[in-house]
């Protein structure tokens, strides 16, 4: 669930950026860091999400 939530949260803004898409792959360190444990879906929203490390 966490990976799909993060993917749907970031993909609309970055779907045309190859570097961002690479960061959103399941084996990237960004995804491993943000998909480990529980995600608070009330605080991590489209308006209040961490920036992708581009």
The token pair that represents 1 in the structure block: 């669930």
Rounded Cα distance, 6 and 20, in Å: 12
The pLDDT of residue 41 is 78
The token pair that represents 24 in the structure block: 């959103």
Give the residue extent of every domain in the chain.
1-35
- Beta-carbon contacts of 36 under 8 Å, excluding residues fewer than 6 positions away, are 2
For 1-54, the pLDDT digits (tens) are: 889 999 999 998 888 999 999 999 999 998 888 888 777 777 888 888 888 888
Rounded Cα distance, 17 and 36, in Å: 25
pTM of the full structure: 0.74
């Amino acid at each position: 669930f966490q990976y799909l939530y993060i993917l749907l949260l970031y993909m609309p803004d970055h779907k045309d950026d190859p570097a961002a898409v690479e960061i959103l792959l399941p084996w990237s360190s960004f995804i491993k860091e943000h998909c480990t444990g529980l995600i608070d879906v009330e605080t991590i929203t489209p308006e209040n999400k961490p920036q992708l490390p581009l």
